[in-house]
Chain A
């Protein structure tokens, strides 16, 4: 286990060190001490390493992650795992706004709650939130799966495209062009896989599925408001 202490080292040195790891590195396990809410911790990683952040982080931790597994042992600030391509990001606490924004792949797990705009413009990422999510989540969500074990705030899935949204609890309101969809066997399978990977013991049958009604896919005067 490699340890890096941000109370004595710099963010630049930390990220440069993590970026220098390649597919064949022997230094596969990293522990980051004293993050103290710093921004951009462990962003831009691109190797199969495991990074544990011992505390809470600021903006954009694990941003654009590829291959790596990043575990934040605290809460994460806005934009955690934004534009993630692959790998896994786990937050033991809560996540602030825009968690997993525009993510193309990989798995984001929030063991607490996620704030507003979770999964905004998601493009293939899978997101599992053990708690609740805030308003305008999955806005313009293009593809991927979002699993919410608690409740969803206002305007879920507004203007979404082909992303699948699974919510176990209540949905305060659905956004424009988002509707409840039929839960088919293949969706239950996807859910079970994600719940297992996300270390959540909820049952797929307890969820409802939401997605695009596809009425905004082409410009039409009746869509304008």
Chain B
């Protein structure tokens, strides 16, 4: 290897950063099939994240709360602006919308069980409300999506809140997909579609366009539900300042804002990786929009997209969110991508942690499937217990950080508690680069 036949040293074979092994394999796959790659999950590329922020903790200028003894509340009320029955949550970590169809019935049940035991809400998805999740969710948010699959006023009135889905972080401007392998009799019946077809969901609502229409749509939903339940509007992290402004103008009680690390059941890989903004980049413009309208803390902001730990929760709240939502992390807590199924992941040509072909319905963990045999592998009671534990740990972690910062409620965390490790994170989060009092774009010193 070191010298050629003439004794001249060889250079080390060099892989191209541009044409990496990943890129080349996708070119070969595309050339062989003629169709784009579809997968689940959120952006896998390296992005600026909450990991690029640090809390300062207390010092002489601020004193901490005793770690295990002093009160640090975690409750949050969502939707008190217009709804007579706002949602009261014990913890500010909610379960994001995931459809029955993408997930099995038992997986939806487990999400409901875990969320309810932890004192938080779960959310339906494209395809309507199932009895599993309504029955096991003490607080259920009903998504109102462009497809309106399974949408009916009876379920609407059973919901504790309504979430009008305008966009999703994984695919701002894109609709849903549910491929034929997962369109079982039950899924087909709920969605009023032929069994086994590759089902597509519209990217735009069928009966409104623009913020003025949305205002009237919200009025209709309030009239149908008697002004009882909160109405959320979910937007992708595309243009957060303007989207939040328009959603509030239209009358939303809460905003769900989803960054590009937020998962999807199935979408083109090129969409997931190249459209949208990182979660870290979207929160400050959204909070500024609420502040400019005088609606911060009146209209609640729920941030989602790559939230994994109590530290992420605390950082999101310090930057101005009222709550967060988790999807991918909740699935991992249930058992998705667990190494115990490694041999089966290998048979599918992948490995635990990287499995994202959820749309094929072959999930070894039995969560993102409609295959009755695979579904048997998943125990909703155990899954619910695991989710409850995970939510509890995240909450304890966030409380630990808040107490260290001297805060007796997670909502009292603030940007001044944070510094950034990178220029990018400092610019996006608008907190000082560690060791300085400056961030890119800052116009005055404090």
Contacts and interface: CB of A to CB of B under 8 A. Distances in A.
Interface stretch (B220-228, B229-237, B278-286, B435-443): B220-228
A35 to B, nearest CB: 14
A92 B336 CA distance: 55
Given A40-B220, A43-B224, A98 B152 contact: no
Contacts of A78: 207-208, 213
Interface stretch (B61-69, B194-202, B375-383): B194-202
A83 B152 contact: yes
A44 B208 contact: no
B13 interface: no
Interface of A is mostly: loop
Given A40-B219, A78-B213, A219-B179, A83 B226 contact: no
Contacts of A142: 192-193
A219 B360 CA distance: 13
Interface string A78-113: 110011010000000000011001101000000000
Nearest to B152: A85
A120 B220 contact: no
A117 interface: yes
Contacts of B152: 64, 83, 85, 104
Contacts of B206: 82, 98, 101-102, 117, 120-121, 139-140
B74 to A, nearest CB: 35
Given A59-B216, A102-B207, A161-B194, A44 B223 contact: yes
A60 B217 contact: yes
Interface string A129-167: 000000000011011000000000000000101100000
B427 interface: no
Given A15-B223, A142-B193, A59 B148 contact: no
A218 B198 contact: yes
A221 B35 contact: yes
Contact of A64 (B33, B35, B153, B213): B153
Contacts of A161: 193-194, 197
Given A40-B220, A63-B224, A85-B152, A79 B208 contact: yes
B44 to A, nearest CB: 22
Nearest to B218: A40
B172 to A, nearest CB: 21
A181 interface: no
Contacts of B213: 59, 78
A123 interface: yes
Interface string A5-39: 00000011001100100000000000000000001
B295 interface: no
B358 to A, nearest CB: 16
Interface of B is mostly: loop
A15 B228 CA distance: 14
Interface residues of A, number: 44
A224 interface: yes
B299 to A, nearest CB: 21
A66 interface: yes
A123 B148 contact: yes
A131 to B, nearest CB: 20
A220 B36 CA distance: 10
Nearest to A124: B192
Contacts of B198: 217-219
A78 B210 CA distance: 13
Given A83-B152, A140-B202, A224-B35, A12 B223 contact: yes
Contact of B148 (A46, A66, A83, A218): A83
B408 interface: no
B148 A217 contact: no
Contacts of B151: 83, 102
B215 to A, nearest CB: 9
Nearest to B212: A59
B208 A162 contact: no
A55 interface: no
Point out which of B148, B152, B206, B208 has the most chain A C-beta atoms below 10 A from its C-beta: B206
A201 B200 CA distance: 38
Contacts of B217: 59-60
Contacts of B223: 11-12, 15, 40, 43-44
Nearest to A15: B223
B153 A66 contact: yes
A39 B153 contact: no
Interface in B137-187: 147-148, 151-153, 156, 179-180
A114 B216 CA distance: 20
Contact of A217 (B197, B208, B219): B197
A43 B227 contact: no
A113 B208 CA distance: 20
A89 to B, nearest CB: 14
Nearest to B157: A44
Point out which of A15, A40, A78 has the most chain B C-beta atoms below 10 A from its C-beta: A40
Contact of A98 (B38, B147, B207, B227): B207
Contacts of A11: 223
12 contacts: A44-B153, A44-B225, A60-B216, A60-B220, A63-B224, A79-B220, A83-B148, A83-B153, A102-B151, A102-B207, A219-B198, A221-B33
Given A63-B220, A123-B148, 17 more contacts: A19-B226, A43-B220, A44-B153, A59-B220, A60-B207, A64-B156, A66-B153, A78-B207, A85-B152, A102-B206, A102-B207, A104-B192, A124-B192, A142-B192, A161-B197, A162-B194, A218-B197
For the complex of A and B, 9 pairs with smallest distance between CB atoms? A44-B224, A221-B34, A98-B207, A79-B207, A102-B148, A64-B153, A217-B197, A101-B207, A60-B220
